[in-house]
Amino acid sequence: MPSTDLLLTFNAGSSTVKIGIFAMDGAAARRIGKGVIDFRAEPLSLGLTKGSQTFDMPLKAEVTDDLHGVIDEVFALLADHFDMTATRAAGHRVVHGGDRFTKAIALDAAAIDAVDALTPLAPLHQPQALRFIRALRHLKPHLAQTASFDTAFHATQDDLVRRFAIPRALHEEGIKRYGFHGLSYKFIAAELASKAPRAAKAVVAHLGSGASLCALDQGVSRDCSMGFSTLDGIPMATRPGSLDPGVILHLAGEREQSFEEIEDLLYHRSGLLGVSGISADTRELLKDGRPEARQAIDLLTLRIAGEIGRMAATLNGLDTVVFTAGIGEHQPEIRAGVAKRLSWLGLTIDEKANAANDFAIGSGESRIAAHVIAADEEQVIADEALSILRGD
C-alpha cells in the first residue's frame, strides 16, 4: 500500500466522537491528526489537531439520526488538511461484541446487523457507533470498514469470574459479565510489557466519565469491574456503579417509577453528580469547598481502592497499579486518595512524581509499583483495522 493511504478511526461515545487520522505506513498505522465533535455543544464544531496546529471548525450541517450531513461536512473540512481521496478504510470502536465477537471484524451488511442485534446489551453506546458505521456506508459505500469491540479483550476471563449467581439458563442466554474499556486495557497491557515488563499482576484503573478497573495477569484480562453493562463497578460521572438490585425493585414497585425514569436516573443523574448535587466533573468537585463535593470524591476513591483489593484476590496477588484515562492521567489528588486507602497493601506514592503525572509514581519504599500511562484507544482501532486489511 502507498504510504499516502489514510485510515480513519471513529471512537463514538454517548455524546461525542473522537476521530483519528492515520497514515498507513507499510505494516504500521501512524497517527497524523485527530478530531473531536461534542454533540452537546452549541454551535457544533469539529476540533482538529494536526501536528502542533489546532483548528476549531464550525459545522453547519443539521444533526440528524442518520448523520449524513455531518459526516459529509466532516470529510469536506478534513479535505482542507489531508488528502481524503486517499482514505482506504475506517475503523470503529463498538462497545459490545457479546460472546460472538471476540476479535475485530470486517463490517459488511450481515455483520452490521449482528452488531445491531447486540444493542439491548449497550443501549447508550451501541446505537452511536452504528450511526457512524451506517452513515459512512451510505456516503462512502466502497470504503472498507472494521469494528473493534470493547468486550473482546475480556473474553479471556474464566467462566467462574463471568458468572452471576442466577439460574444457569439465564447465563447461557447471555446474562453474564462481559467487561468494557477493552481497547484501553489492550493498549495499556502492551505498554506495560514494553515499559514495565516485571509487572506480572496488575490492576489498571481506567478513570474517565465512564470508569472501570481491569485485573491483568501477564497482560491478559482476568477480571473487570464493569459486568453485564456499563453501569456496573465504581461510581462514574453520572452512573452509580455497583447498586443493590433491590433499589431498582423499590423504585419500580413502591415508587412506581417507569422504565424510562429509572434508566435516566442510572445513566444521567447518579454517580458523582448525584452524590454531590453539584457537578459530574472531578475537576470542579476538587475545587469546590462544600462537603457534598468532598464526599463525592471520597466515595470515588473508596470504591476504586475497594475494587483494587477485590481484584487482587482474583489475581492471587498484586504487584502493579496503573492509572489511565482523563482522571487517571491528569488528577494527582485522585491517585493520592486511592493510594492512601491502599497503604495497607504497601502502596505509597512519591508526591513530586505524582504531581508531575510521571510514568512511575511509586515511592522507593512502596511494595507495589504505581504507573500513569496515557491510553490510546484509537491506535488500537487503527492497528486492528490495518491487520484486517492485510488479511492477518
Quick check: is 388 in a domain?
Answer: no
Give me the sheet containing 53-58, strands edge to edge.
53-58, 45-50, 28-38, 16-25, 6-12, 87-94, 144-149, 105-106
Mark whether 108 and 201 lie in a shared domain.
no
Q: Quote the cell numbers at residue 345.
A: 497493601
Within a domain: 170: no
pLDDT at 244: 96
Residue 271's identity, in one-letter code, is G
Centre a 10 Å sphere on the Cβ of residue 292 and count the other Cβ atoms it contains: 12
Q: How far is CA 382 from the centre of its chain?
A: 16
Mean pLDDT by groups of 10 residues along the chain of 392 residues: 77 86 87 90 88 88 87 92 92 94 95 94 88 93 95 96 97 94 96 93 95 97 95 95 96 94 95 96 95 97 97 96 96 97 95 96 94 95 93 74
Does residue 104 share a domain with residue 241?
Answer: no
Please indicate, yes or no, whether residues 267 and 330 belong to a single structural domain of this protein.
yes
Q: 108 and 239 share a domain?
A: no
The cell numbers describing 291, all together, are 462537603
Do both 285 and 341 map to the same domain? yes
Indicate if 24 and 105 belong to the same structural domain.
yes
Q: How far apart are CA 50 and CA 34, in angstroms?
A: 7
- Tell which residue, 173, 175, 36, 22, has the closest CA to residue 89: 22
> Could you confirm whether 5 is annotated as catalytic?
no
Q: What b/e readout covers 342-373, taking b as 16+ CB neighbours within 10 angstroms?
A: beebebbbbeebbeebeeebbbeebebbbbbb
Q: Specify whether 118 is located in the same domain as 232.
A: no
Strand, helix or coil for residue 173:
coil
- Residue 192 counted as domain residue: no
The CATH number of residue 85's host domain is 3.30.420.40
Q: Give pLDDT, residue 3.
A: 46
Residue 323 domain-assigned (yes or no)? yes
pLDDT at 26: 74
Same domain, 356 and 232: yes
Cell digits of residue 172: 447461557
Q: How many domains does the chain have?
A: 2
**Of 146, 138, 28, 19, which is closest to residue 84 (Cα–Cα)?**
19
| Of residues 237, 305, 304, the one with CA closest to residue 272 | 237
Same domain flag for 120 and 223: no
Q: Does 109 map to a domain? A: yes
Asked whether residue 83 is assigned to any structural domain, the reply reads yes
pTM, entire model: 0.92
Residues 128 and 228 in one domain: no
Task: Please pick, among 5, 66, 80, 150, the residue that the annotation labels catalytic.
Answer: 150
Q: Domain span at residue 242? A: 197-372
- Give a yes or no: residue 305 inside a domain: yes
pLDDT for the residue numbered 1: 39
Residue 201 and residue 140 share a domain: no
Distance CA 287, CA 295 (A): 13
Residue written as grid cell 446487523: 113
| Residue 173, C-alpha cell as written in the block | 442466554
Q: Are residues 135 and 278 located together in one domain of the fold?
A: no
User: Is residue 382 included in any domain, yes or no?
Assistant: no
